[in-house]
Chain A
Amino acid sequence: MSTPTSERVVSVGVDLLAQALENQAAPVSRVDWRPPLAGTEHDLATVALDPLRPGANARALERMLAVQAVLVDVLPAHEALGLEAGRFLHAGPPIAWERASGPLRGALMGAAALEGLVDDPEDAVALFEAGTSVSLEPCHHHRCVGPMAGVVTPSMWVFVLEDPATGARTHCTLNEGLGKVLRYGAYSPEVLTRLRWMNEVLGPLLQGAVRATTDDGEPVDVTAILGQMLQMGDEAHNRNRAGTLMFLRDLGPALVATGGDVADVAEALRFVGGNDHFFLNLAMPACKLALDAGRDVPGSTMVVAMSRNGTDFGIQVSGTGDEWFTGPAQIADGLYLGDFGPDDANPDIGDSAITETAGLGGFAMATAPAIVRFVGGSVPDALATTRRMQEITLGENPRWSVPILEFAGVPSGIDVSKVCRTGILPQINTGMAGRVAGIGQVGAGLVTPPDEIFPKALTRLAQLTAGRAASRRPA
């Protein structure tokens, strides 16, 4: 009698063969296979058969999951990033003024006034059109991320997050709040007044508090807060309420103990506590810190950044270095505030998709059922979305788990190959900015990257794989 092997069979392909197995009472799992995205078969095979790939992906994922993001400082951007006058960082892949959308332009104009390059924001248009004294660069190129327009200039204060194990750092500006704010392209005097207050009062107060926590050896552990948030109905992109409150709880006493003016401290506490999205600006750099650790592993198909500038949607992949693969940013599908409609919405904008890239936001939707009504879905949709994202990720994050899915870790490490194979696109929960600068938020909904960017990235990965194989063969 031969040694029995496992009886179970996974059948992928012709249903007849699965049926033949069932007729033998053999347990069969059928794969619901569909053809891959058009034109990707050959590149998929090249990448699948790359000997480097399995180990590279394991390494990239492992490095990402091992990162702990701790809040170590708050500094002005000129100090933290070496940002000089005339330089502007923005969300998304590289873009020139000519192609920038309303909200980004508005934010750049407001920021130019904030920095004193012009008195009236409207005057900044000429500055950017000339382009000689100003430069635009992605936040991502400077270890930084920014929500919505994501504009960062030298005077703006930024959170500094660090991974204690490696000393690696990422940064993000402080969240201005809701309504008419710079990140939505508003540049009215009240916007600038608020920004100045944040630079002059909020930033230094937060710095004092944060430094006190690091001195005490108990810095704010952003990674840990993210883990707890998921148990409390936040997904860290569109819902950050619990995170904001836990941040306040952790930092509040130190804030008071800075000895700053009582009225200022009170104002700071009110400002932070009154903004349910405040924690987003900590969640985002924490996610970037994790993903940056997974960068630059040759042969890895893991996505390390997803980002939009209001015109283009771009991704970066671990195995392809700093290259951006871009396509048109989409308009989200969801619910509109007031009597806004799809014509009022700007295409997708912001670095906040870094949360989805790290397994949060839309990927963790199952843990934030409250969010689904806001985005026009039903509770089973939320669970199904997180499960669907499992199809396109390399693994799960055991530190960030979803109670209702029996504490499964959030799906982590988007795999370019799997996206091309299944046609399942990463699901992003997002706010929608108004097309016209300064209107503010017009709604919230679900959006995906344009599908063409994944085949582009795959082709590049295949080229690199073929190149390595060619250089291995004897001449």
Chain B
Amino acid sequence: MTTDHVELRTGVYADSVTLLQVSRQVQQLPGVTAAQVAMATPLNVEVLERMRFAIPDEATVNHLVVAIRLDDDGELDAVRAEVDRALTDRRPAASGPTEDAPPRTTDAALRREPGSLVLVSVPGPSAAVEAMDALESGSDVMVFSDNVPVEQEVALKRYAADRDLLVMGPDCGTAVVGGIGLGFANVVTPGPVGIVAASGTGCQQVLALLDHAGVGVGTAFGVGGRDLSAEVGGLATRTALARLDRDPGVELAMLISKPPADAVADALTAYTGSLGTPVHLALLGAGRPDLTAATEDLLRALGREVPTWPVRGETRAATGSRLQGLFVGGTMKQEAAVLVSAAGVAPGAAELVDFGDDEYTTGRAHPMIDPSLRLERLAEVAADETTGVVLMDVVLGHGAEEDPAAALAPAIEGIGPPVVITVVGTSHDPQGLDRQVDALAAAGAEVHLSNAHATRRALAILGGSR
């Protein structure tokens, strides 16, 4: 016999990742058979109703829902006390009495600590407001948030361009500035390369390859996926390249993006030509070099040796005719898609999914933080007889989950189809690159550092079955 307890709280707010962690904590408590602590967004209410909790009609997006299902041994008061504790533990703490309350806006924070770089990851509709605070105060800003309307992006970047400030984003997941990794970022050795990237995971792939090749990266600016569109016109890319050009420590710059809009491409070429620092363009798409090839070009330009990109582990022959790609990195998926299509694979024979895409992440955490959705799909794909080979990526670094192999290795252990995995990570990443690779290889996967190579291998395995 279980009893449900559902309460609505107002005046309380916490971000979705924090609430996910709180929910997990509460789920582990004795006597709790199910629990969810979440803001009452339509998506979350749907999730709660699927868990058969009855959510009151008056719940709005500003309500925090605490839904607990207890078995006979469960003690409601104790569990609720734990929920309270978990929530307050995660509030930005006021260090003293109320005099020292934490700042409520970016502007207030910058008044206390002027000159800081700002990292914005609030829900998209509110991101531009916080970003403007940063720009008005003379600070560069990284907008991790997505779902920011393009008109707002343009207005922000125009304002920034007039003041030689940098807006990284929106939807910028990765940056390395002043040696500090922002967002999902790998631990890099400082060095002579500077990166400007319109894609977070694309940047991370390059960082990982360069790290293996022993080449350091001093700075990596993200500019957001839309910067090189006709509407935005490459405003942030220009500022970022100018910064790298001015930096005496940067010998060579690399621009990673899908091909820019025609209108923007010419201006971009003219601009990069005018800079003192050589700029390598890694523009990804059909008929163009993949990221690994572009990185190899860069290494040669630096006069460095191109290493053999590492592969660990061995996997089986194809068990079916379809390639199932399950990705957490958008650019990893896109790169794979280009290679799959170039190989002439029929559309029905390959399915590539990016679990970091908006349709999978509204109201829930990114798959680099919460792997559960992809793991569910992996189980389905593994049980599907048509699956010939599974292709995946694992992205390490700050921000990503502590031990991806812990859940993934058991999930691939003993499944039928062969598994090819790219582990994007550097030697100093907190998850321990070697440990992750070893665990996945031991579970039967073939593990690569290069996503392009992994994709080609998956295609080769698939081809072997025909």
Contact = CB atoms under 8 A, between A and B. Distances in A.
Contacts of B145: 13
A14 B233 CA distance: 29
A14 B104 contact: no
A474 interface: no
A44 B129 contact: yes
Contact of B103 (A29, A36, A44): A29
A48 B104 contact: no
Interface string B106-140: 11111011011111111101101110101010010
A32 B105 CA distance: 7
Given A2-B250, A20-B398, A31-B102, A9 B180 contact: yes
B17 interface: yes
A11 B128 contact: no
B122 A8 contact: no
Contacts of B121: 11-14, 17
Given A14-B144, A38-B62, A24 B249 contact: no
Contacts of A2: 178-179, 190, 194, 218-219, 247-250
Contact of B119 (A17, A54, A384, A421): A17
Interface string B15-51: 1111000000000000000000000000000000000
B156 interface: yes
A391 to B, nearest CB: 5
A19 to B, nearest CB: 9
A33 B15 CA distance: 9
Given A2-B219, A6-B116, A32-B92, A48 B159 contact: no
B99 A3 contact: no
B81 to A, nearest CB: 22
A41 B125 contact: yes
B202 to A, nearest CB: 19
Contacts of A24: 180-181, 398
A424 interface: yes
Contacts of B185: 20
Contacts of A11: 118-119, 121
A99 interface: no
A388 to B, nearest CB: 7
Given A5-B117, A8-B115, A422 B105 contact: yes
Contacts of A424: 104
Given A7-B180, A11-B121, A390 B97 contact: no
Given A9-B182, A24-B180, A391 B103 contact: yes
A5 B190 CA distance: 14
A418 B108 CA distance: 10
A388 B116 CA distance: 22
Contacts of B219: 2
Given A13-B15, A17-B119, A33 B247 contact: no
A34 interface: yes
Interface in A13-33: 13-18, 20-21, 23-24, 26, 29-33
B97 A1 contact: no
Contacts of A270: none
Given A12-B119, A16-B399, A44-B126, A5 B177 contact: yes
Contacts of A51: 159
A49 B117 contact: no
Nearest to B162: A51
Interface in B150-198: 152, 155-156, 159, 177-183, 185, 190, 194
Interface in B79-114: 90-92, 97-99, 101-110, 112-113
B430 interface: yes
A30 to B, nearest CB: 4
Contacts of B60: 38
Contacts of A38: 60, 62
Nearest to A20: B398
B13 interface: yes
B109 A12 contact: yes
A33 B103 CA distance: 8
Max chain B Cβ within 10 angstroms of own Cβ: one of A3, A33, A34, A421 = A33
A452 B98 CA distance: 26
Task: Please classify how large the interface on chain B is, using the bins under 10, 10 to 19, 20 to 34, 35 or more.
Answer: 35 or more
B128 A12 contact: no
A32 B101 contact: yes
Contacts of A381: 98
Nearest to A391: B104
A373 B263 CA distance: 67
A387 interface: yes
A80 interface: no
A10 B190 contact: no
A4 interface: yes
A11 B216 CA distance: 26
B92 A31 contact: yes
A23 B398 contact: yes
A472 interface: no
B117 A14 contact: no
B178 to A, nearest CB: 4
Contacts of A45: 125-126, 128-129, 149, 152
Given A21-B180, A384-B99, A34 B120 contact: no
Max chain B Cβ within 10 angstroms of own Cβ: one of A32, A36, A424 = A32
A383 interface: yes
B306 interface: no
Contacts of A30: 92, 102, 109
Contacts of A26: 180
A422 B104 CA distance: 7
B61 interface: yes
A35 interface: yes
Contacts of A44: 126, 129
Contacts of B129: 44-45, 48, 417, 421
B181 A13 contact: no
A243 B177 CA distance: 54
B369 interface: yes
B224 to A, nearest CB: 16
A8 B117 contact: yes
A380 B99 contact: yes
A420 B152 CA distance: 19
Nearest to A386: B99
Contacts of B14: 15
B144 A17 contact: yes
A10 B123 contact: no
Contacts of A6: 115-117, 178
Contacts of B152: 45, 49
A32 B91 contact: yes
B130 A12 contact: yes
A23 B116 contact: no
B15 A10 contact: no
Interface string A110-139: 000000000000000000000000000000
Nearest to A15: B18
Contact of A380 (B97, B102, B132, B182): B97
A377 to B, nearest CB: 11
Nearest to B156: A49
A390 B108 contact: yes
Nearest to B183: A17
Given A383-B99, A391-B104, A421-B105, A9 B123 contact: no
Nearest to B152: A45
Given A15-B14, A31-B92, A383-B98, 18 more contacts: A8-B113, A9-B116, A10-B110, A10-B118, A11-B119, A12-B106, A14-B17, A15-B18, A16-B18, A20-B183, A21-B182, A31-B108, A32-B104, A38-B62, A49-B132, A384-B97, A388-B101, A391-B108
13 contacts: A1-B249, A7-B178, A8-B115, A12-B119, A13-B120, A14-B18, A15-B18, A17-B182, A31-B130, A32-B91, A33-B126, A45-B128, A421-B129
The 4 closest A-B pairs by CB, nearest first: A13-B121, A384-B98, A2-B249, A2-B218
Interface of A: 1-18, 20-21, 23-24, 26, 29-36, 38, 41-42, 44-45, 48-49, 51, 54, 380-381, 383-384, 387-388, 390-391, 417-418, 421-422, 424
